[in-house]
């Protein structure tokens, strides 16, 4: 039996960080050596999150302490810090830590976008270009080969995770070329982070429901960036986010008008559609096709970030209230789970890897004019083939739609696909738990990839119901 991988969680006093701790303490191949959170430094973890009493016997350290990176000798550090703080800390400590073999998974938005998109959408200076150059976008279902070889992973945003999983099959198959993509996404209050505010108070949220950050949510360019890579062309989306009066969950409803005459055949013949990216997918993950980064979009106002680590900035209430690596090897193990990262430089890959068990044969276009039933069946085949073999994406049978209750507490993403022959639009529904698949669970899934383990290790979470 190999030694456990030593991990630390910085930002453990926030919702995403606390969820990371909950998942990591039950992971069979992980040793949690430190938790940190500057706002609650010195307090027992069980005082910050009473549900962890008797489970986590650690006190919160100061997230800025150098000892977290050297004296404790972690193999991997999770950052669940607010936007801006993560990049500042990494700029100071990551070069030396990487030389010692430490890998990082960052749950903030600081490394998800190139500087020309990050600054206008997040409203602050971008991270050091040297950091951005090393960061790999961590959506496991699409970028597994790159994640395995990464030293620094940018965990996706919660809305971006749901939307990208919903739209990736259509993007790869040319279904977004019609240029009309509308996304209506709704999140529970935990996505705003743990900081107190009027807009997340019970009296403000209960029996209430409203949109926020209309036209300026910072996950918009993140979605467009990845869809452009999949489609091989610029993609523009209209994303509107809403606050639900629930604790957990995201439901994203994505409307797509496909090009005239389009048929949902997965490209690349005998390869699963999840293995297909744009021809230039070997370029840096954060690069956006030139036409996609329009000056008009770059000028949009934006503010982002929240206390609580990796959460949304709190939306504005209608009444004006405000709210927000190479394989990971333990240096104590004689049977390391992967080679030293200094010897395994991140290698640009061809994009998502072939997935064992994925559907290989696309449904052929009927010789006679296709019926609505033909197209609906082909759409379902496209999604089943795209995500075949992916353990955390559940494509629902035709006619069924997902619900956030059915994924709560789990790392699943449930997808439903519907074609409306009257309007000619396709509707794709995605449901995730924003704190698990949308944050901490995705981060642990990336840890598993970086370590060379099965993706499901430590993530065999049955959804909580009712």
pLDDT digits (tens, 9 = 90+) for 255-297: 999 999 899 875 544 333 444 333 333 333 333 333 333 323 3
Q: What percent of the chain has pLDDT over 70?
A: 77
Residue 27: how many other CB atoms lie within 10 Å: 19
Q: Span 397-411, mean pLDDT?
A: 97
Instruction: Tell me how far apart the alpha carbons of residues 421 and 278 are, in angstroms, rounded to a whole number.
Output: 29
More confident site: 438 or 123: 438
β-pair partners for 261: none
Q: Measured between alpha carbons, how far is residue 224 from residues 56, 227, 232 in Å?
A: 39, 5, 11
Work out the pLDDT band at 77, boundaries 50, 70, 90.
very high
Q: Coil, helix or strand for 153?
A: strand
CATH at 15: 3.40.50.720
CB 232 within 8 A of CB 279: yes
Instruction: Tell me how far apart the alpha carbons of residues 64 and 150 are, in angstroms, rounded to a whole number.
Output: 24
Does residue 318 share a domain with residue 308? Answer: yes
- pLDDT value of position 250: 98
Work out the pLDDT band at 369, boundaries 50, 70, 90.
low
Q: Span 301-322, mean pLDDT?
A: 37
Does residue 220 share a domain with residue 149? Answer: no
Strands 413-420 vs 425-432: parallel, antiparallel or unpaired: antiparallel
Does residue 15 share a domain with residue 62? Answer: yes
Instruction: Tell me how far apart the alpha carbons of residues 244 and 356 are, in angstroms, rounded to a whole number.
Output: 37
Q: Is residue 158 annotated as a catalytic residue, yes or no?
A: yes
Work out the pLDDT band at 134, boundaries 50, 70, 90.
very high
User: Is 456 within a domain?
Assistant: no
Does residue 287 share a domain with residue 335? Answer: no
Q: Span 181-196, mean pLDDT?
A: 88
Task: Find out whether the peptide bond into 466 is cis, omega within 30 degrees of 0.
Answer: yes
Instruction: Report the domain count for the chain.
Output: 2
State the alpha helices, DSSP H only, in 338-404: 372-386
- pLDDT value of position 300: 39
Among 308, 310, 341, 315, smallest CA distance to 103 is for 341
CB 58 within 8 A of CB 45: yes
pLDDT at 342 over 80: no
In the sheet that 76-79 helps form, which strands lie side by side, from edge to edge? 60-61, 30-36, 5-10, 76-79, 103-106, 152-154, 135-137
User: Is 75 within a domain?
Assistant: yes
CB 5 within 8 A of CB 29: yes
Does residue 174 share a domain with residue 92? Answer: no
pLDDT at 332 over 80: no
Beta-strand ranges (E) seen in 269-322 are none
Q: Span 76-98, mean pLDDT?
A: 94
Strands 250-257 vs 425-432: parallel, antiparallel or unpaired: antiparallel
Does residue 266 share a domain with residue 209? Answer: yes
Average pLDDT, the chain: 81
- DSSP label at residue 251: E
Instruction: Tell me how far apart the alpha carbons of residues 335 and 3 are, in angstroms, rounded to a whole number.
Output: 8
* pLDDT tens string 431-450: 999 999 999 999 999 999 99
What pTM was computed for the model? 0.81
Does residue 256 share a domain with residue 195? Answer: yes
pLDDT at 64 over 60: yes
Does residue 329 share a domain with residue 319? Answer: no
Beta-strand ranges (E) seen in 262-351 are none
pLDDT at 394 over 80: yes
- pLDDT value of position 41: 86
Work out the pLDDT band at 362, boundaries 50, 70, 90.
low
State the alpha helices, DSSP H only, in 138-249: 140-148, 158-172, 202-205, 219-231
pLDDT at 7 over 50: yes
CATH at 200: 3.30.360.10
Does residue 175 share a domain with residue 68? Answer: no
Q: Span 52-74, mean pLDDT?
A: 92
Question: Considering 139, 158, 162, 227, which one is annotated as catalytic?
Answer: 158
Q: Span 341-351, mean pLDDT?
A: 32
Q: Span 28-53, mean pLDDT?
A: 93
Work out the pLDDT band at 363, boundaries 50, 70, 90.
low
Q: Span 99-110, mean pLDDT?
A: 96
Work out the pLDDT band at 384, boundaries 50, 70, 90.
very high
- Taking the CA atoms of 391, 392, 395 and 396 in sequence, report the sign of the dihedral they define: positive
Does residue 98 share a domain with residue 202? Answer: no
Instruction: Tell me how far apart the alpha carbons of residues 76 and 102 are, in angstroms, rounded to a whole number.
Output: 5
- pLDDT value of position 322: 32
Instruction: Tell me how far apart the alpha carbons of residues 450 and 168 are, in angstroms, rounded to a whole number.
Output: 23
Among 140, 89, 134, 101, smallest CA distance to 6 is for 101
User: Is 446 within a domain?
Assistant: yes
Does residue 152 share a domain with residue 227? Answer: no
Q: What percent of the chain has pLDDT over 90?
A: 65
- pLDDT value of position 319: 38
User: Is 165 within a domain?
Assistant: yes
More confident site: 301 or 434: 434
- pLDDT value of position 326: 32
Backbone Cα Rg of the chain: 21
Q: Span 344-364, mean pLDDT?
A: 38
User: Is 457 within a domain?
Assistant: no
User: Is 466 within a domain?
Assistant: no
- pLDDT value of position 208: 93
User: Is 276 within a domain?
Assistant: yes
- pLDDT value of position 368: 59
Does residue 150 share a domain with residue 250? Answer: no
Instruction: Tell me how far apart the alpha carbons of residues 41 and 69 are, in angstroms, rounded to a whole number.
Output: 16
Q: Measured between alpha carbons, how far is residue 354 from residues 156, 265, 348, 389, 453 in Å?
A: 21, 17, 16, 9, 17
Work out the pLDDT band at 135, boundaries 50, 70, 90.
very high
Containing structural domain, residue 261: 159-323+355-433
pLDDT at 331 over 60: no
Q: Span 93-119, mean pLDDT?
A: 94
User: Is 462 within a domain?
Assistant: no
- pLDDT value of position 333: 36
Q: What is the DSSP string of 92-152?
A: HHHHHHHHTT-EEEE-SSTTSS-HHHHHHHHSSPPPPHHHHHHEEE--HHHHHHHHHT-SE
């Amino acid at each position: 039996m190999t030694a456990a991988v030593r991990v630390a969680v910085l930002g453990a006093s926030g919702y995403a960080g606390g969820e990371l701790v909950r998942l990591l303490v039950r992971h069979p191949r992980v040793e949690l050596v430190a938790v940190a959170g500057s706002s609650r430094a010195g307090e027992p973890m069980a005082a910050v999150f009473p549900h962890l009493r008797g489970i986590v016997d650690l006190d919160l350290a100061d997230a800025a302490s150098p000892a977290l990176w050297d004296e404790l000798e972690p193999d991997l550090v999770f950052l669940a810090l607010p936007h801006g703080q993560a990049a500042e800390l990494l700029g100071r400590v990551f070069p030396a830590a990487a030389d010692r073999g430490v890998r990082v998974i960052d749950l903030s938005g600081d490394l998800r976008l190139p500087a020309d998109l990050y600054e206008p959408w997040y409203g602050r200076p971008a991270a050091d270009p040297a950091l951005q150059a090393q960061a790999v976008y961590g959506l496991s279902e699409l970028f597994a080969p790159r994640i395995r070889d990464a030293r620094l992973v940018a965990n996706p945003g919660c809305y971006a995770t749901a939307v990208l999983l919903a739209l990736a099959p259509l993007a790869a198959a040319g279904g977004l070329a019609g240029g009309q993509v509308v996304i209506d996404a709704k999140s529970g209050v935990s996505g705003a982070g743990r900081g107190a505010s009027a807009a997340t108070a019970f009296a403000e949220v209960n029996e209430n429901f409203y949109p926020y950050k209309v036209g300026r949510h910072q996950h918009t360019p993140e979605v467009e960036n990845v869809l452009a890579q999949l489609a091989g062309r610029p993609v523009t989306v209209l994303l509107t986010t809403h606050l639900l009066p629930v604790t957990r969950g995201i439901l994203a409803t994505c409307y797509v008008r496909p090009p005239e005459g389009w048929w949902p055949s997965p490209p690349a013949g005998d390869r699963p559609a999840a293995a297909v990216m744009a021809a230039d997918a070997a370029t840096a993950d954060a690069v956006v096709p030139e036409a996609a980064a329009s000056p008009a979009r770059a000028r949009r106002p934006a503010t982002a970030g929240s206390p609580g680590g990796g959460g949304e900035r709190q939306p504005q209430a209608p009444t004006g209230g405000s709210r927000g690596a190479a394989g990971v090897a333990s240096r104590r193990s004689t049977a390391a789970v992967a080679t030293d990262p200094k010897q395994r430089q991140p290698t640009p890959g061809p994009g998502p890897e072939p997935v064992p068990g994925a559907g290989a044969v696309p449904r052929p276009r009927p010789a006679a004019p296709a019926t609505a039933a033909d197209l609906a069946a082909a759409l379902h085949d496209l999604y089943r083939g795209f995500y075949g073999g992916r353990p955390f994406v559940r494509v629902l049978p035709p006619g069924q739609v997902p619900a956030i209750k059915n994924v709560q507490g789990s790392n699943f993403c449930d997808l439903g696909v519907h074609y409306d022959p009257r309007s000619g639009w396709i509707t794709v529904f995605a449901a995730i738990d924003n704190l698990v698949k949308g944050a901490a669970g995705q981060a642990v899934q990336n840890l598993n990839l970086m370590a060379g383990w099965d993706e499901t290790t430590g993530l065999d979470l049955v959804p909580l119901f009712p």
